[in-house]
Every structure is written in structure tokens, then in C-alpha cells.
A and B are shown apart, each in its own frame.
Chain A
Amino acid sequence: MTSNPGAHLTAIDIAASVRSGERTAGDVLEEHLERIASSDAEIHAFNHVMVDEARHCAQAVDTAVKAGEDPGPLAGVPVALKDNMCTRAVPTTCSSRILQGWKPPYDATVVQRLGMAGAVVIGKTNMDEFAMGSSTENSAFGPTRNPWDTSCVPGGSSGGSAAAVAAGFVPISLGSDTGGSIRQPAALCGVVGVKPTYGAVSRFGLIAFASSLDQIGPFANTVADAALVLEAIAGHDPADSTSIREPFAELFPHLDDGVSGTRIGLITEMMGEGIDADVAARTREAADALEAAGATVQEVSIPAVNYGLSAYYLVAPAEASSNLARYDGVRYGNRVEGNTTDEMMFATRTEGFGDEVKRRIMLGAYALSAGYYDAFYGKALKVRTLIRADFQVAYEKFDVLLSPTSPSTAFPLGDKTADPMAMYLNDVCTIPTNLAGHPAISVPFGTGDDGLSIGVQVLAPPQGEQQMFTAAAVLESAAPGGAR
């Protein structure tokens, strides 16, 4: 695929034309279903396409428009969901054999909110099993391929959702970000990806990986489309006890505010060793573009982020080992029979989980076990405090921060599957945000020496989405060659 057939169709345009009656949601849907039918065999962005449900939903939108009702800000916009968000009576697998065929008895809050906004959910996207990975190669159902170069990975873990937008299968999709799982695939697929403040979007119905880090956010072709989706899904939800009670920021009125006088810090620790030269070069050009638009840009050191990867790979597995204990073959999901309950549980989990999930469950159980808890998990939690404190110091001097999203462009399939530690290093720039609970957005900004997309990350303090989106909009308009 050399061009993006759907990039010109923004969610904002689609919703406006459906609301005005210029186009029907049904026609919009069929166009997108055709693209999926003709190209997804090659990309494998989807685990499941909800043809019947989507047609039913589009029909309801068109009926509302004909009756003079407003279906909402996402009227008739096709949306893809990462396959770890519960959809009632529709298969939800987390790309794991253990959940293959499972149909949840309820919808996640984000699914309900998309419906209320008039969106048409079109399918469930491929991912690294239980969101553990950075390439979507850990899926039990085979990898997703990068639409720009199908010999390369799309990133992960939300690789299917990123690829679906890049391939023009949908204008917007949702992913989840625990250590970079929205932003890194967004960077590698040349689309916009947002990890909101922890607690900004309800996690009710999001299948848990690491509960203190997980957050749902959008993928889109444009910053404005990402803002449209985020405004629709964010906000307090009584069903999620970690949901923020204050109203979510208004993004749209400030998208064109510009960055005149904005103080921007370029994170020193994310510009040196381990970051490819072309990625660092594009990030510096992004900083220059913001300066040219009136911002002041200075380098800032956030020393504790050097320890982010270590803390993350103790905290996230520890939480995962606890969260994934629920897959025991008793109440839902698949079971492998045994003579006793214990034998059944061993057989079910041994056959049901892939290697990366097993690695993280065991790593987490080890980090939490007697004799190691203080040395590993306990210390990692204290490092989290240091990271948050260092960010706090930086945000006293800067409104937003800037860094690369991923240390490299998309890499070939199979390149890093044998070495877990090499794969983990993909997340070195994204992880600190999750540990601190802060928001960040990845915006496409030019290409690398290999011609593949590079993403630049704008980071903001908690609930700082407004200034983050304003800076992202400036970066988008300054990106070399426009949006890819």
C-alpha cells in the first residue's frame, strides 16, 4: 500500500455530512466495509468485523437523521475497537486463546458512549495478547502488518487499531495504553495517538492488564479528530472507581490557540543514547517548528525517567500476575478439562496463554513474592514517586514537554521476538508518562532514513490535555509534507 485511501476522510467531515443528510451512515459504512474486505487479508488489522451489528447501527443513525433528530457528534463515523474492550454478545478475545469465542454480557463504558455519540462500531482489532507487547506479534491469531510497509510491524500492543486507521479502514479507533501501547503504534503507523490522563476515560469494560497504568485513548488521522473522539468518551463514570470526577477539558475551542508564549521543554534523557539519529533529528525539527510558531523551547533534564523501564517491568507484571489470575477456566473463557479443579486450572492456563503472557505473570509473581517484594516491587513503586516528582519540577518551568515517541521507525516482523528485553526498549520514551499517570499525544512528524513514519510526543501535566492538544495541532500543521 503506497497511499492512504482514507486519510482525507476525517471523522469530522463524515459526521457533518451524515448529520446534514448529505450522506447516509449506511453508505459511509459500506465504503469502509469494502476497503476492509479488499485489503485486510494482507494487513490483518481486525480479529472480527461486526458487519450485521454495524449495519443495524448505521440504519438507526439514518432513521434518526430522517426523523430530524441529531444522532450526535460522531454521527455515522465508523470506529474500530481494540479487542480488549467488552462488546455485548460480540466476541472479545484480547487476542488470546483463553478468551477465543467469549462473548461478554455487557458493553464497556466507552462502547456505550460511542453509541450515544452516534458512532458505528465496525469491528474488534488485533493486539498483542492481553496488551503485552510492542509489535502485535504476540497475538494468538497472527501478527498485524504495517500498512506503509507490510514487511514491518505496526507497533503495539494496539497495532490493529493503529493499522486500521493508517489503512483507511476506519477514520478513528480506540486503543489502550499501559506503557505506550497507543502512542508507539501511532508513531510507527503515521497516525495520531493519545494516552489521556489516568482516570480521564472510564476503564469499565476494559479487560485489565495493569490497573494503575491502563488508560483508553483514540487513534485518528488528525489531531482534531482525536479531540472529537476523546471529548465523546472522556468524563466521570460511577462504574470506575478511579474515574476523575471533574469535567474533562474542552479541547475544541482551543485547538487553534497556537503556542505563542508557550514554554516547551525538550527532554534531554530521551534525545541521546538508544534513540536513532533520524528520530532525534525529526524531534529537534519539531522543537524548531514550535519555536518558529512563537513558543520558547529549552532542554530540560528529568533524571528519574532513566529508571522508568526498570520500574515499569516490575510494576506492570506484578499487577498483571494478579489481574490474570481470573482466567482459571471456571466462569468464562476456555477450559481444558482435568481430573481435579487444580489440574483443570493448570491445563487451561498452560494451553490458553502465550509465552509473553506467561513471562510477565511469572515475573510479576516473582517480584511480589516473599523475600523479593521490598527489593523489586516496593522499590519500583518508590521510583514511580521519583519520576512523578521530577516531572512536577519540570512542569513548574514548562507548560508541555517534547520527546520522540519511539526510539526507531517500524522494524521488520520477527526482528525482536527472540529477545524480550530488546522489545521492551521500544517503550523507553512512553513508559514514564504511564508511571506518573500523565497524558501524552503522538503526532506524525516526517519520516526516517528508511522512508517510514516518525512520531513526536507532546507530554503534559495531569489533566493538561488542553495545552497538549493545542501544541499537537501546531506540530501537525508544521509537519514536513503535511500528514502522511
Chain B
Amino acid sequence: MSDRLPKSPDNAKSPNNDGGANQRISADDVAKVANLSRLTLDADELDLFTHQLADILDHARDIEALDLEGVEPMARPLPLVNVFRADEPGEPLDRAEVLAAAPSVENNQFRVPPSLGER
């Protein structure tokens, strides 16, 4: 596999691969992923995180120069196999104990604020 690697990681920073990935992450990108992640950032945080994420992603650019044609992705160390077990009832978690750990409970169920429309 070594022949797939460039001579040195220093030569690996390629300016013209993979469309969007060669542009530095922008404040707008960070604001978008913050929203997807349900995180609120103030202006200072947005600026700081944008710079930090850009630095991390810059470091990761060394993999862009690798010849990965035909290489299978490895999502996990072990082969994926179906795991079956006998269909026998086991001991469930104690309902009262589970609900005692919830932030808000009503009628033995988790309670949340309204999810649709105005309160």
C-alpha cells in the first residue's frame, strides 16, 4: 500500500482536488453546522471556532494527495455481521428509576415544551 503515498507528507497539500473541500471553512459554514448541531454561538465564538476548525481541516488536507482509487473505506475494525440472540424476554430497566433521571415527567412519560407552533 505504501506506493499510494506521496514521497513526503509535506508535498501532499494539493490545491486542486475535490471541489469544495479546498476552500477554507467560512464563518457561514460554521454558523450552518452550529445550527445543525443545535448550538448557539456568539460573534466572538463564531470567529474563534472558524479559525480553529480551519486550522484542523488544513492539517487534514495531507490526505487529499493520496491515491485512494479503489481503496475500500473502513468504517469499523471488525467485519459487520448480523448478531442474533434467542427471542427471550429479559429484565427491562426499572421504569421509575429511568423517569427519575428525566428533566421533566408527566403521566409516566418524558415531558417537553411544545414542538409545533407558538406556545
Residues of A near any B CB (own CB < 8 A) = 89, 102-106, 198-199, 212, 238, 241-242, 244, 301, 303-304, 306-307, 309-311, 313-314, 321, 328-335, 337-347, 349-350, 353, 358-359, 361-363, 365-366, 369, 371-372, 374-376, 378-386, 388-390, 393, 420-421, 424, 436-437, 462
Q: In the complex, are the beta carbons of A334 and B4 less than 8 A apart?
A: no
B89 adjacent to chain A (CB < 8 Å): no
Interface string of B91-119 (1 = CB under 8 A from A): 00110011011111000001011110001
Please, which residues of chain A bring their CB within 8 A of the CB of B57? 363, 366, 376
Please, which residues of chain B bring their CB within 8 A of the CB of A303? 1-2, 5
Chain A's closest residue to B8 (CB) is: A306
- Given the complex of chains A and B, what is the CA–CA distance between A117 and B13 in angstroms? 52
- Given the complex of chains A and B, what is the CA–CA distance between A366 and B49 in angstroms? 13
Q: B2 contacts which of A106, A304, A331 (Cβ < 8 Å)?
A: A304
Please, which residues of chain A bring their CB within 8 A of the CB of B55? 420-421
For the complex, count residues of B whose C-beta is within 8 A of A: 60
Query: Given A242-B78, A313-B56, are A380 and B63 also a contact pair (CB < 8 Å)?
Result: yes
Q: In the complex, are the beta carbons of B112 and A330 less than 8 A apart?
A: yes
Q: B40 contacts which of A105, A106, A350, A393 (Cβ < 8 Å)?
A: A350
Q: A365 contacts which of B17, B37, B83, B85 (Cβ < 8 Å)?
A: B37
Q: B39 contacts which of A104, A349, A366 (Cβ < 8 Å)?
A: A349
Interface string of B40-67 (1 = CB under 8 A from A): 1000000001001101110111111010
Given contacts A212-B77, A369-B33, 6 further A-B contacts (CB under 8 A): A244-B78, A337-B113, A375-B20, A382-B71, A386-B66, A388-B77
Query: Given A307-B9, A330-B103, are A379 and B110 also a contact pair (CB < 8 Å)?
Result: no
| 14 A-B pairs in the complex with CB atoms less than 8 angstroms apart | A105-B101, A307-B63, A310-B59, A310-B63, A334-B103, A346-B38, A362-B49, A366-B33, A371-B20, A382-B73, A390-B1, A421-B56, A421-B59, A462-B77
Please, which residues of chain B bring their CB within 8 A of the CB of A321? 37
Chain B's closest residue to A314 (CB) is: B60
